[in-house]
Structure 1
Amino acid sequence: MALFVALLLDAAFGEPRWLWSRLPHPAVLMGRAVGWADATVNQGAGRQLKGVILLLALVGLAGGVGFGLMALPGQIVDTLLAAILLAQRSLVQHVQAVADALRYGPVPARRAVAMIVGRDTADMSEAEISRAAIESAAENLSDGVIAPAFWFLALGLPGILIYKIVNTADSMIGHRTPQYEQFGKAAARLDDVLNWLPARLTACLVALACANPRAWHLARREAYLHRSPNAGWPEAAMAAVLNIALSGPRSYHGERKDFPFVNAQGARNPGARDIDAATGVLWRVWALMTALVFSLALF
Structure 2
Amino acid sequence: MTGAPEILLLALLLDAALGEPAWLWARLPHPAVLMGWLIGWADTRFNRGAHKRRAGIAVLCALVLGAGLLGWLLEVLLPWRMAELLLVAILVAHKSLVQHVAAVAAGLRESLAAGRRAVAMIVGRDTAEMDEPAVVRSGIESAAENLSDGVTAPVFWYLLGGLPGILIYKVTNTADSMIGYRTERHAEFGWASARFDDLLNWIPARVTALLILLTHGRFADWGAVSREARLHRSPNAGWPEAAMARCLGVALSGPRSYEGELRDYPFVHPEGNRTPGPEAIDQATAALWRSWAGICAVAAVLALLT
TM beyond 0.5: yes
Q: Partner residue of 1:251?
A: 257
Other structure's SS at 1:251 match? strand
Match of 2:121 among 110, 115, 118: 115
**2:296 is equivalent to residue 286 of structure 1:** no
Other structure's SS at 1:256 match? strand
The one-letter amino acid paired with 2:291 is V
Give deviations 1:124-172, integer Å, cap 9, x for gaps. 0000000000000000000000000010011000000000000000000
Coordinate RMSD, CA, aligned: 0.7
User: Where does 1:72-87 land on structure 2 (aligned, <5 Å)?
Assistant: 72-87=78-93
Change (3 A) 1:214 1:262: farther
Where structure 2 has 5 or more consecutive residues not aligned to the other structure, the ranges are: 1-5
Deviation at 1:218, TM superposition (A): 2.4
**2:184 is equivalent to residue 166 of structure 1:** no
The one-letter amino acid paired with 1:127 is P
**2:156 is equivalent to residue 134 of structure 1:** no
Contact 1:109 1:129 in 2 (8 A): yes
Give deviations 1:218-258, integer Å, cap 9, x for gaps. 22110011111000000000000001100000000000000
Q: Partner residue of 2:189?
A: 183
Q: Partner residue of 2:3?
A: none
User: Where does 1:263-282 land on structure 2 (aligned, <5 Å)?
Assistant: 263-282=269-288
Please give the alpha-carbon distance, in whole angstroms, between the structure 2 residues aligned to 1:79 and 1:182.
37
Q: Partner residue of 1:35?
A: 40
Deviation at 1:216, TM superposition (A): 2.3
Contact 1:242 1:274 in 2 (8 A): yes
Q: How many residues align?
A: 299
Q: Partner residue of 2:28?
A: 23
Contact 1:214 1:240 in 2 (8 A): no
**2:28 is equivalent to residue 13 of structure 1:** no
Please give the alpha-carbon distance, in whole angstroms, between the structure 1 residues aligned to 2:300 and 2:221.
25
> Runs of at least 4 residues of structure 1 off by over 6 A?
none
Other structure's SS at 1:120 match? coil
Please give the alpha-carbon distance, in whole angstroms, between the structure 2 residues aligned to 1:290 and 1:122.
38
TM-score for both structures, normalised by structure 2: 0.97
Q: Percent identity?
A: 60
Q: Partner residue of 1:154?
A: 160
Contact 1:116 1:136 in 2 (8 A): yes
TM-score for both structures, normalised by structure 1: 0.99
